[in-house]
Amino acid sequence: MNVLLTHGYFLPLDPKEAALHRPYPPLASLTMAAWLKEKLGLEVHFYDVMFDGGPEGLVQAVRKHRPDVLIVYDDDFNFLTKMCLENMRRTVFAAVAQLEQVPLRIVHSSDASDQAEAYLQAGFQVVVHRNAEKALVDLLAAYRRRPSLEALQHMPSLSLNTANGIVHTPPLRQNFPPEETPFPRWELIDLEPYRRQWLKHHSYFSLNVSTSHGCPYGCNWCAKPLYGRTYRAIPPERVAEEFRRLKVELGADHIWVTDDIFALQPGWLERFARELERRQIHVPYKCLSRADLITEPFAALLARTGCQEIWLGVESGSQRVLDAMDKRLRVTDAIRARQILGNHGIRTCFFLQFGYLGETLADIQATWRLIRHTRPSDIGISVSYPLKGTPFYQTVQNLLGAKRNWLHSGDLDLMYPGTYPRSFYREVYRFTHLMFGWIRLRQAQPLGGQLRLLVRQIIFLPELVLRYLRIRWTAWRKATPPDPDWMVHKVRYSEK
């Protein structure tokens, strides 16, 4: 069976990410290639669309290899694919519309799970949903025995476009054991374009690794279409060996751990530290965690294993917004985590979110105060984004217009009526970054960099003042009174 495997993220179509020059290879797609080889003995062709600006390269690859099966398998481990961006969907649709000659066309992604009918109507015959690794292996094994869609209609975790219409099968409850996870097949892609961008713009080369699947927490805006509300950790011995391979064999100077929450399993990080030391491997890495999980012993282990930077989903400096999100965090957790991680020399970065339903200027100002008080190493800002399948989406779906997804990751369009007009949140986004620039001036950095930042901040000082005045004026003139029931919960975490 001749299989061509690819993914659906086209970096040039995401201008914000393209400008950062931090491309990461499609890790989940390469791991899927390894599963197919290990379980079915399949040697796949792989086409990497990362640096393509359109569907032409993929179409040419199909014409060259003439596969029996085309699989568009997104990188589930990259947050960018979980954003379900319209630019990527349109390009994948444009490609598959030209590929009717392929006998079996399969797609797996967060967006395809949310919009299965649209993908099937665009030209795919099968959408693979939850626990896709095992679902896809089982699907291809069945198709190899009997190459017809009818043979697949009773297999779990699929949506199929059959002669009798669209069929949705029940979800697959069990995936392969995490300890069986094979190493990604890095040899299938050319890493040099990635390496060149990293070295040219950042003077080091970073690669990605996944140490777990899923997240057990229930933030009501967070979509979990692929693994559900579960957490499955890969053994630390296996991860330490992957760190070694990335550093020694592939030349990585830095690693991004893509997990939603790193090292959640008790005792995992201690074992990981021992395994790295046994292999004499030390490579700086960045990861994600929750503020309430940060303790002195945990931070010490992070530093011991090479953690250079950690991103925390702080979201807001307003406790009532956190409660409404079902975040199960206190604002004081972020303050404490920042202090602990700073004591261990770990860069501490905050993910922030504006525009949640019912948020007022007072809540936004609370977030600004939190930033000024804690002085994080960096911030990432988004506006609330209702993704299909989340409780938040169910709350606001009747308020949504025709636009249901962002075009690209820098879109940041508030797609439901917020407390303030859409333009207000773009002002808040820009003002917060400008304000944070003054905070960064107080951080330790080379003199040259500090002087450049100072000059930049002085140049943008009039813009900072103007945007603040616009924010205050808009909040005064154009506010929509928040729904009094917007944050009603039977039990609020902050009251426990």
Give the amino acid at 216.
Answer: P
CB 225 within 8 A of CB 114: yes
Rounded Cα distance between 442 and 454, Å, is: 10
Q: Is 284 strand, coil or helix?
A: coil
* β-sheet bridge partners, residue 70: 4, 105
Please give the structure tokens belonging to residue 274.
Answer: 């021992």
Neighbours of 410 (CB within 10 A): 14
Quote the CA–CA distance of 358 and 396 in Å, as a whole number: 11
The whole-angstrom separation of Cα 321 and Cα 316 is 7
Nearest partner of 356 among 404, 389, 320, judged by Cα: 320
Residues 6+ apart with CB under 8 A from 476: none
391: left (phi over 0), alpha (psi -120 to 50) or beta: alpha
| 315 phi, psi to nearest 5 deg | 70, -55
pLDDT tens over the chain, length 496 residues: 999 999 999 999 999 999 999 999 999 999 999 999 999 999 999 999 999 999 999 999 999 999 999 999 999 999 999 999 999 999 999 999 999 999 999 999 999 999 999 999 999 999 999 999 999 999 999 999 999 998 899 999 999 999 889 999 999 989 999 999 999 999 999 999 999 999 999 999 999 999 999 899 999 999 876 677 889 999 999 999 999 999 999 999 999 999 999 999 999 999 999 999 999 999 999 999 999 999 999 999 999 999 999 999 999 999 999 999 999 999 999 999 999 999 999 999 999 999 999 999 999 999 999 999 999 999 999 999 999 989 999 999 999 999 999 999 999 999 999 999 999 999 999 999 999 998 887 776 677 777 888 888 888 899 999 999 999 999 988 766 555 454 444 334 444 3
Cα separation, 10 vs 408, whole angstroms = 10
Measured at the CA of 93, the angle between CA 87 and CA 97, to 5 degrees, comes to: 150
Which SS3 state, helix, strand or coil, does residue 157 take?
coil
Backbone angles phi, psi at 3, to 5 degrees: -120, 130
Phi-psi region of 177 (alpha: psi -120 to 50; beta: other; left: phi over 0): beta
What is the rounded CA–CA span in Å between residue 198 and residue 246?
15
SS3 label, residue 65: helix
Query: What pLDDT score does 453 carry?
Result: 80
β-bridge pairing 3-6 and 45-46: parallel
Torsion sign (Cα): 113, 116, 122, 126: positive
Tally: H helices and E strands in the chain: 19, 15
- DSSP strands (E only) in 290-402: 307-315, 347-354, 378-383
- Separation of alpha carbons 272 and 301, rounded Å: 9
Contact (Cβ atoms closer than 8 angstroms) between residue 423 and residue 477: no
Reported residue count of the chain is 496
Query: Helix or strand or coil: residue 370?
Result: helix
Integer Cα distance of 470 and 333 in angstroms: 32
Task: Give Dmax over CA atoms of the chain in angstroms.
Answer: 69
* Identity of the amino acid at 2: N
Distance CA 119, CA 415 (A): 22
Could you tell me how far CA 97 lies from the centroid of its own chain? 27
d(CA 388, CA 394) in angstroms, rounded, equals 8
**What's the CA gap between 402 and 45, in Å, rounded?**
38
User: What domains lie within the chain, and their CATH numbers?
Assistant: 3-168 (3.40.50.2300), 191-488 (3.80.30.20)
Beta bridge partners of 72: 6, 107
146 DSSP assignment = S
Q: Cβ(106)–Cβ(72) under 8 Å?
A: yes
